Amino acid sequence: MSEETRAGTKERSPNFPALGLTAAIEAARKLWQREKRTQVPPDVAATALGYGSLSGASRAALAALRQYGLLDGGPGSVGVSDLAVDILVHDEGSSEWSEAVRKAATEPPMFAEIMKSHPDASDSALNAYLISKRRFSADGAQRFIRSYRDTISLVNRASQGYDQARSTEPIAQGDAMSMPSAVSAPQLQPGQQITVVALPLTGWGRVEIRFIGEGAPKPSHYRKIKSQMDLLLDDDADVTGAS
């Protein structure tokens, strides 16, 4: 990665994948199609990815796959990981594919950090944070943002696909009331995403809370849900359908 001089000292941008997750998955697909699960020398893997030799560009691509958890093996041999196979063999939009994509997206430590600390930040705000607080070079910050935005875009697609797959599953009918056989998928506005939070109910099942909006839900959103639930309980409403 590029370096810049700051106060007379050369500093290197923190490590992050050179490829966005979309490109990394396509690279893993090429390796899977050529070698399946066989671990091969890095130069053979680089050829499978479309590079003429093991160069700086091909090493960066292989490193990106490893950072996403899509590559297994040591310095002498590499092969696609179980996580990569989960993404490649399951249909896009399925719960298995969506879960594997979300896991891969949070494997790079810097991506996981930004998803948690700056879920709604603009590119300008993120650029300022990376340079001033995380000591990125200017060029490194821009390359990070491009890779990170591509990854987040795929995560949003995965969240929508998971939610739509869930919406077509029949809802169990209880004795107390008749329930619809499916929940319709929401119409998303530009910039919106779906975040599903599943909560176990011991001895009964689980409940899923679906957030639809711009960015990930914030603590204030959870507090509002709690307030609404408190109102239901104060009104002695039968929200369980059970006696």
Res 84: pLDDT: 95
Least Cα distance to 71 among 35, 118, 119 occurs for: 35
Bridge partners, residue 198, by sequence: 208
Query: Taking 80 as the threshold, does the pLDDT of residue 5 lie above it?
Result: no
Vertex 56, ends 54 and 61: CA angle to 5°?
Answer: 80
Pairwise pLDDT comparison (166 vs 80), residue with the higher score:
80
Give 29-64 as a DSSP string.
Answer: HHHHHHHTT--B-HHHHHHHTT-SSS-HHHHHHHHH
Pairwise pLDDT comparison (115 vs 197), residue with the higher score:
115
Query: Taking 60 as the threshold, does the pLDDT of residue 162 lie above it?
Result: no
Res 130: pLDDT: 94
Nearby residues of 124 by Cβ (< 8 Å), 6 or more positions away = none
Residues 60-102 have pLDDT tens digits of 999 999 999 999 987 789 999 999 999 999 988 888 999 999 9
Residues 189-213 have pLDDT tens digits of 555 566 766 666 665 666 677 777 7
Which amino acid belongs to residue 78?
V
Query: Taking 80 as the threshold, does the pLDDT of residue 45 lie above it?
Result: yes
The per-residue pLDDT of the chain, averaged, comes to 77
Res 7: pLDDT: 38
Q: Which of 78-87, 133-142, 149-158, 221-230 has the lowest mean pLDDT?
A: 221-230
Contact (CB, 8 A) for 35 and 79: yes
Q: Which of 12-21, 96-105, 122-131, 230-239 has the lowest mean pLDDT?
A: 230-239
Q: How many Cβ atoms are within 10 Å of 16's Cβ, its own excluded?
A: 21
Exposed/middle/buried for residue 10 (C-beta within 10 Å: 0-12, 13-18, 19+): exposed
Phi, psi of 86 (to 5 degrees): -60, -40
Least Cα distance to 87 among 70, 109, 111 occurs for: 70
Query: Taking 80 as the threshold, does the pLDDT of residue 182 lie above it?
Result: no
Res 128: pLDDT: 95
Least Cα distance to 10 among 137, 143, 144 occurs for: 137
Res 92: pLDDT: 86
d(CA 236, CA 217): 28
**What are the start-end ranges of the H helices in the chain?**
21-35, 42-48, 56-67, 82-89, 95-105, 109-117, 123-132, 138-167, 219-234
State how far the alpha carbon of 97 is from the alpha carbons of 22, 23, 105, 152, 176, in Å.
13, 16, 12, 15, 36
Most confident of 141-145, 162-166, 218-222: 141-145
Residues 207-240 have pLDDT tens digits of 677 777 766 677 777 777 777 777 666 644 444 4
Query: Taking 50 as the threshold, does the pLDDT of residue 175 lie above it?
Result: no
